[in-house]
Amino acid sequence: MKIDGKVVIVTGASAGIGAACAAEFARAGAKLSLCARSEEGLRRAAGDQALITAGDLTEESVRRRVVERTLERFGAIDILINNAGIGLYIPSWEAPEAEVRRLMELNFFAVLGMIRLVTPHMRARRGGTIVNVGSIGGKIVLPWLTVYSASKYAVGALTEGLRMELRRDGIRTMLVCPGYVLTEFQQRSVGEVPPQMVKGRRFAITATECAASIRRGVERDARTVMTPRVGWLLVALARLLPRAVEARMARMNGTA
């Protein structure tokens, strides 16, 4: 899809990958509608023209407000980038249920909630692109982030299922699977810091690089964007040698 002149909603746009997407899509000529809780962060990320809606996306009323205000201001929604998400660095079996539910509310139910609101509009216009930011943790389970991985597997399944459901309607869906991106994600996540080995920044990319991959993915109507692409190698290895990869991951996690 050509981005110039398109209306793009970006969730979680006050920082990190979302803020970088706002800058990247603005440069490509998009009209932006941004949402996150921090109004100050949104103002920093938004250019002069962007519409901002501050609020907690786990609330249905906030999601509705984002979509209604976008339609009021721009009259259309061409691209939805479901990016807001949080992590949880606690073993799944001892993670407090309230934290697990909080994570699922944002990483899965808010994503589905936004989709439910924009899809009727996109169907009526017979076009649009829904981008869901998953994770490499939604392709290979990361034992230091098991619950988070579960949420990202769910986002992956949702993205693929939607693509088939909406095939006749001209709506495309794209799954983004970032590896390690240099943002405040780890600091903002709930729980303990990840194991030291996981902090190895060998394949780390910046939020700007990640946003550029997302923009290119939208332009070429990609189904999945793995960024950095070396992540595919890990996914293939995990499929070919599951026991070996599991053992290695458990060692990294300090549980083997």
Ligand X SMILES: NC(=O)c1ccc[n+]([C@@H]2O[C@H](COP(=O)([O-])OP(=O)(O)OC[C@H]3O[C@@H](n4cnc5c(N)ncnc54)[C@H](OP(=O)(O)O)[C@@H]3O)[C@@H](O)[C@H]2O)c1
CA 222 to CA 1: how far, in whole Å?
10
Site string for ligand X, 87-106 (x = CB under 6 A): -------------------x
Total residues binding ligand X (CB under 6 A): 28
Collapse the DSSP code of 81 into the 3-class scheme (helix H, G, I; strand E, B; otherwise coil) and give the result. strand
8 contacts: CB under 8 Å, gap ≥ 6: 25, 30, 31, 32, 33, 78, 79, 80, 81
Does position 188 interact with ligand X (CB under 6 A)? The reply is yes
180 is a catalytic site residue: no
Identified catalytic residue from 89, 148, 153, 180? 148
Direct distance between the N- and C-terminal alpha carbons of the chain, in angstroms, rounded to an integer: 46
Does position 83 interact with ligand X (CB under 6 A)? The reply is yes
Q: Give one DSSP letter per residue of 153-198, joined into a string.
A: HHHHHHHHHHHHHTGGGTEEEEEEEE-SEESSHHHHSEESPPPGGG
Q: Out of 86, 235, 238, 245, point to the residue binding ligand X (CB under 6 A).
A: 86
Q: Out of 3, 41, 139, 144, point to the residue binding ligand X (CB under 6 A).
A: 41
Collapse the DSSP code of 203 into the 3-class scheme (helix H, G, I; strand E, B; otherwise coil) and give the result. coil
In the complex, minimum distance from the CB of residue 104 to ligand X, in angstroms, rounded to a whole number: 12
CA 118 to CA 234: how far, in whole Å?
34
C-beta of 96 vs 170, nearer to ligand X: 96
Choose the binding region for ligand X from 7-15, 70-78, 156-164, 230-238 (rule: CB under 6 A).
7-15
Question: Interface with ligand X by CB under 6 A: which residues?
Answer: 12-18, 36-38, 41, 56-58, 83-86, 106, 133, 135, 178, 180-181, 183-185, 188
